[in-house]
């Protein structure tokens, strides 16, 4: 079982081993069932059992695809795939859905043609009913085992493969009823069962394909999952607001992007610390692969008034030329479409009594400045180590 304290590499290894074991068991079961259903269905004249056998064969194909995808999808990030290979699982699920849809349509078409010629329908052999019932029991047990493994390791691909087995169990139930009806004298029920099995295969293929396709086009997480992630971010100490929270699925996990708001007067390093704290909290408490946090001093989702302002070089030039000073340090705050400047001067800076007037004149003439504050620091304070 995947533990919350496991590293991503350990979790991936656990998931890989569990997926490999359950898939190998599924392959063994499906090989036996496919051979029994096709052979007994053919010689026992049961179209329904043969259709169910082809359904089992599709399970066999899907198992091999799952093994291949699980092996490659378990690989970590590399230069060409910085987020890893998790979406190989998604692509495999899409292929499974397409294969099931095509096979189901072909079986549905064949059953429809035979139902148009009822005089050609043959009575089935009694042995076909026993094989159908054995298949029903085996498929249901296989489903319960595989879904338990899938939930334990949180693998979307294994969930898809498990429900593929459940669709086989449901189809085997339909086939059993159809064969029993044929043996009771209603010969057309076996073909009707084959048509129903085909429809079930098409429906399951559509569901799997649609979900996988939705993930490949970056569909976000559910409202409940997003709300939980939002609550985690907003409860992080230092976060004063949150906007532009976006999510997208990545295999059995997700990618998260968010803009957090912090106090506009704190240092860059403190803002970074708050962002890293928020990121680690999301990674710890949610099934998320990666979190990208953007730090904002103001709400730039509804308006971005500061982006059109000049850069630092423009304001430094104005300060030096118009104020006639060269501060030790200049801190600029881009807020609400204007700039607040903090100038740090040494305590020994010569004051001619006109600096205040020059600042007032600059503020009146330069529309991009909101305020200019001058701070003097003593030589002792400037020597304090960081």
Contacts within 8 Å (CB) and 24+ apart, 146-149: 146/22, 146/26, 149/18, 149/19, 149/21, 149/22
E strands, the chain, are: 241-250, 253-261, 290-296, 329-335, 338-346, 369-377
pLDDT in tens, the chain (386 residues): 444 454 555 555 666 677 778 778 888 888 888 888 889 888 888 878 887 787 777 767 766 766 666 565 555 555 665 555 556 677 777 877 887 788 778 777 777 777 776 655 677 888 888 988 898 888 888 888 888 888 777 776 677 767 767 777 777 888 888 888 888 877 778 778 878 878 877 887 888 788 777 777 766 778 888 889 999 999 999 998 888 888 887 766 788 889 998 988 888 899 999 999 999 999 888 888 788 899 988 767 667 777 888 999 999 999 988 888 888 889 999 888 889 999 888 777 777 678 888 889 999 999 999 999 988 876 554 444 44
Quote the tokens at residue 63.
Answer: 């198992």
Question: How do residues 85-142 score in pLDDT, each as one tens digit?
Answer: 556 677 777 877 887 788 778 777 777 777 776 655 677 888 888 988 898 888 888 8
Three-class SS state of 353: coil
- CATH topology assigned to domain 223-296: Alpha-Beta Plaits (3.30.70)
Taking each helix axis from N to C terminus, what angle separates 312-323 and 355-365, rounded to the nearest 10 degrees?
A: 130
Domains 223-296 and 312-382 share a fold: no
Residue 371 bridge partners (DSSP): 340
- How is the chain split into domains, by residue range? 8-216, 223-296, 312-382
- Rounded to an integer, what distance in angstroms lies between the CA atom of residue 36 and that of residue 44? 11
Place of tokens 């649609």: 210
Question: Rounded to whole angstroms, how far apart are CA atoms 138 and 117?
Answer: 33
Among the CATH numbers 1.20.1510.10, 1.10.240.10, 3.40.190.10, 3.30.565.10, which is that of 8-216? 1.20.1510.10
**What is the fold, at CATH topology level, of the domain defined by 312-382?**
GMP Synthetase; Chain A, domain 3 (3.30.300)
Asked whether the beta carbons of 41 and 53 are under 8 A apart, the reply is yes
Distances in Å between the alpha carbon of 41 and those of 161, 235, 246, 381? 25, 62, 52, 92
Residue with tokens 């620091």: 377
| Euclidean distance between CA atoms 201 and 168, whole angstroms | 8
């Amino acid at each position: 079982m995947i533990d919350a304290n496991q590293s991503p590499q350990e979790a991936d290894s656990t998931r890989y081993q569990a997926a490999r074991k359950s898939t190998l068991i599924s392959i063994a079961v499906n090989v036996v069932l496919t051979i029994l259903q096709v052979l007994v269905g053919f010689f026992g004249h049961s179209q329904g059992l043969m259709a169910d056998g082809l359904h089992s064969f599709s399970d066999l194909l899907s198992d091999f695809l799952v093994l291949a995808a699980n092996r490659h999808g378990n690989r970590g990030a590399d230069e060409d795939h910085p987020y890893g290979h998790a979406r190989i699982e998604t692509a495999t699920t899409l292929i499974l859905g397409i294969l099931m849809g095509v096979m189901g349509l072909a079986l549905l078409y064949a059953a429809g043609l035979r139902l148009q010629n009822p005089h050609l329908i043959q009575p089935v052999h009694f042995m076909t009913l026993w094989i159908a019932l054995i298949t029903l029991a085996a498929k249901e047990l296989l489903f319960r085992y595989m879904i338990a493994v899938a939930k334990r390791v949180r693998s979307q691909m294994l969930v898809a493969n498990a429900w593929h087995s459940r669709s086989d169990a449901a189809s085997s139930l339909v086939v059993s009823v159809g064969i029993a009806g044929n043996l009771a004298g209603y010969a057309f029920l076996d073909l009707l069962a084959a048509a129903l099995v085909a429809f079930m295969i098409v429906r399951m293929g559509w569901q799997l394909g649609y979900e996988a396709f939705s993930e490949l086009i970056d569909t976000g997480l559910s409202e409940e999952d997003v709300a939980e992630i939002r609550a985690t971010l907003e409860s992080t100490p230092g976060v004063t607001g949150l906007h532009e929270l976006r999510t997208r699925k990545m295999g059995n996990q997700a990618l998260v992007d968010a803009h957090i708001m912090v106090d506009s007067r704190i240092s860059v390093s403190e803002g970074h610390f708050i962002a890293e704290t928020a990121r680690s909290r999301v990674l710890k408490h949610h099934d998320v692969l990666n979190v990208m946090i953007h730090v904002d001093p103001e709400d730039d989702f509804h308006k971005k008034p500061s982006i059109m302002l000049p850069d630092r070089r423009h304001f430094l030039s104005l300060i030096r030329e118009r104020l006639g000073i060269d501060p030790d340090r200049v801190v600029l705050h881009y807020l609400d479409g204007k700039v607040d400047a903090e100038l740090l001067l040494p305590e020994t800076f010569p004051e001619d009594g006109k600096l205040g007037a020059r600042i007032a004149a600059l503020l009146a003439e330069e529309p991009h400045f909101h305020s200019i504050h001058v701070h003097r620091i003593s030589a002792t304070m400037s020597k304090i180590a960081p």
